[in-house]
Amino acid sequence: MIALVDCNNFYVSCERVFAPRLEGRPVGVLSNNDGCVVARSNELKALGVAMGAPMHLLPPAIRRQAVLLSSNYALYGDMSRRVNLILGEFSPDVETYSIDESFVGFAGFAVDGLEAHAQRLRETVRRDTGIPVCVGLAPTRVLAKVANHAAKKQAAYEGVCRLEADGPATRALLASLPVTELWGVARRTAERLALMDIHTAWQLREADPKQVRRHFSVVLERIVWELRGRPAIVLDDMHEPRQRNMVSRSFGRLTGAFADLQEAVRQHAARAAEKLRGQGSQARAVMVFLRTNPYLAGERQYRNSVVVPLPSPGDDSRELLEAASRGLAAIFLEGVRYQKCGVMLLDLVEADRHQLSLLAPRSEVERGRSQRLMATVDRLNREMGRDTVRFGLPRRGTAWALRCERRTSRYTTRWDELMRVKTR
Amino acid sequence: MMSPLSTTARVIGRAAPFPGETAQPLMGCRVRAGFPSPADDHLDVEIDLHAHVVRRPAATYFVRAEGDSMLGDGIHDGDLLVVDRSLEPLPGRVVVIAVDGEPTVKRLERRGEQTFLVASNPRFAPIPLAGRECEVWGVVTHVLHALPGGEP
């Protein structure tokens, strides 16, 4: 069995931990510089505020009523790190999937006690970090994702939903789930599925895998197998163009050399940047994570991650590589042997929808030049093989003026910004 | 002849104010049956105050105290508090607690059937917990108070 642990409204929940008065109020977190809503509390969702909405277009009544904050990536990154530390106490097999989502493998665990185990996990995360999470338990990642969705939407599950490969509950859930809401199924794919009279997740599960592969892709075939309860996907299959973009890989052998990690992180960042441009998106922050091999007894264990915000949404490899390298330097620990590292691009925005800010560090001309350069690089790498053109280490200390005047304190990473508590 | 200047030390209380915590000597070595290993002298690593104070890293937060109403519990204005969210808020413990959305530091006290939030300054009357909008945020385990010369 595998669990998907997903933090509820993660950015907003982080803010509420350190500002309890925000509990119960409509709260939104804005992207730095371009001021779009990237996270919403349930109360803000209920007011009809859409994901990605630009703040200056919100009706005045909502702007008065809601608490709108700039994103505090230092805080979110640290709270994410804490959540993953706790997950590591419940199973050695923790895979970071996003800043607010992780897969936790329970292979070899007694099947009977798993729900109770998941419930303890949920309570421990809540107690130690204040972050509410939901857990979806199932034999495959795709089903775990479905289970998590149910746990979040239906209060009766009390935050933990377990699905078996077969069974009336699984069938009922899948039959009521449109394929558009299924993890890894793009909108265009869903439209073509509809032409074949496949509208729900259950119908997709019942489709012939070979045919699905012929008409669509290997990834969609794997999703069919996963819906049937047979593990088939790898995490890198499942990038979600609208939200995140991840590249990670295990090293062939364990390594403690900074140069090895730097090389890997740069490669991952370059690959992620390419994917990002391929789908016409820009990223607002870069997350770097690394870990040792948790299954090696007697080996010193370490796991860490950090989030580096970008001055404005970007898709320039040089900028993303620079951010990833700075992140790596911040969390690299001497004297341990690493098994895996990865780079994740967060809070994506569609490139054409992104509004340029007066404070953006580069001029329009420079931006155009950079876009042409990146397009050429991508074409060369596509036509002549990956890594035909590669990037050296960019210069340090580029303009780093984030526009973030509504940002709360970096409560857990700065001595001079700690939470203040009154004694009376 | 004047006698040399001397200072008398007086025991004013235990250094470890938290019951249940086993005090560890900072120096010394464990008594062991058999021959001591000659390597023992080389095993020591630097004494790590962080590891000593932070028992559960994922659950431990540093916060800053404001005001002097908890002086009697050793908390001065501006002191650094170590807060462990994983500990149970038992009576007698000093907690960070959000009262009506505002985080405050208080001691929990059981009086009869009721639990009260108590400040060490007698000017503030104990607040009964019952019927109040409040949530314990964490248990204060240590206070770091800088003396003159020790401020950052």
Residue for token digits 């020790």? Answer: B150
Q: Do B98 and A20 touch (CB under 8 A)?
A: yes
Q: Does B96 touch chain A (CB under 8 A)?
A: yes
Task: Tell me if A286 sits within 8 A of A348, measured CB to CB.
Answer: no
Residues of A in contact with B69 (CB under 8 A): 423-424
The per-residue pLDDT string of chain A (424 residues; one tens digit each, 9 = 90 and over) reads: 999 999 999 999 999 999 999 999 999 999 877 688 999 999 999 999 999 899 889 999 999 999 999 999 999 999 999 999 999 999 999 998 889 999 999 988 888 889 999 999 999 999 999 999 999 999 999 999 999 999 999 989 999 999 999 889 999 999 999 999 998 888 889 999 999 999 999 999 999 999 999 999 999 999 999 999 999 987 766 666 667 778 888 888 899 999 999 999 999 999 999 988 888 888 999 999 999 998 888 889 999 999 999 888 888 999 999 999 999 999 999 999 999 999 999 888 877 654 444 444 455 666 677 777 777 777 777 776 666 666 654 333 333 334 556 889 999 999 999 999 998 7
* Predicted ipTM > 0.90: no
Chain B residue closest to A84 (CA)?
A: B58
The pLDDT value recorded for residue B40 is 57
Q: How far is A414 from chain B (nearest CA, A)?
A: 10
The pLDDT value recorded for residue A278 is 85
pLDDT digits (tens, 9 = 90+) for B34-69: 555 555 566 677 889 999 999 999 999 999 999 999
Residues of A in contact with B102 (CB under 8 A): 20-21, 422
* The pLDDT of residue B147 is above 70: yes
| DSSP 3-state percent helix, strand, coil across chain A (nearest 5) | 45, 20, 35
H helices, E strands: number in chain B: 1, 7
Task: Tell me if A332 sits within 8 A of A316, measured CB to CB.
Answer: no
Residues of B in contact with A23 (CB under 8 A): 101
Chain B residue closest to A88 (CA)?
A: B58
Task: Tell me if A22 sits within 8 A of A44, measured CB to CB.
Answer: no
Q: Do A422 and B66 touch (CB under 8 A)?
A: yes
The pLDDT value recorded for residue A400 is 36
Chain B residue closest to A86 (CA)?
A: B58
> Phi, psi (5° rounding) for residue B70?
-115, 25
Chain A residue closest to B84 (CA)?
A: A128
Q: Does A335 touch chain B (CB under 8 A)?
A: no
- Spatial neighbors of A333 by CB under 8 A, at least 6 apart, are A302, A304
* pTM across the whole model: 0.80
Q: Does A82 touch chain B (CB under 8 A)?
A: yes
In chain B, pLDDT over 90 holds for what percent of residues?
51
pLDDT band at B152 (very low <50, low <70, confident <90, very high): confident
Which residues of B are tagged catalytic?
Answer: 69, 106
The pLDDT value recorded for residue A379 is 75
Q: Of A218, A317, A332, A319, which Cα lies nearest the Cα of A272?
A: A317
Q: Does B62 touch chain A (CB under 8 A)?
A: yes
The pLDDT value recorded for residue B45 is 75
**Per-residue tokens: B82:** 């170590």
The pLDDT value recorded for residue A102 is 95
**Per-residue tokens: A67:** 């608490």
pLDDT digits (tens, 9 = 90+) for A222-249: 999 999 999 998 776 666 666 777 888 8
The pLDDT value recorded for residue A349 is 83
Of A128, A420, A421, the CB nearest to B85: A128
pLDDT digits (tens, 9 = 90+) for A14-56: 999 999 999 999 999 998 776 889 999 999 999 999 998 998 8
Residue for token digits 């932070």? Answer: B54
In A26-178 the beta strands, taken as DSSP E runs, fall at 27-30, 37-40, 67-70, 94-96, 101-105, 133-138, 160-162
Task: Tell me if A336 sits within 8 A of A302, measured CB to CB.
Answer: yes
Of A20, A83, A127, the CB nearest to B85: A127
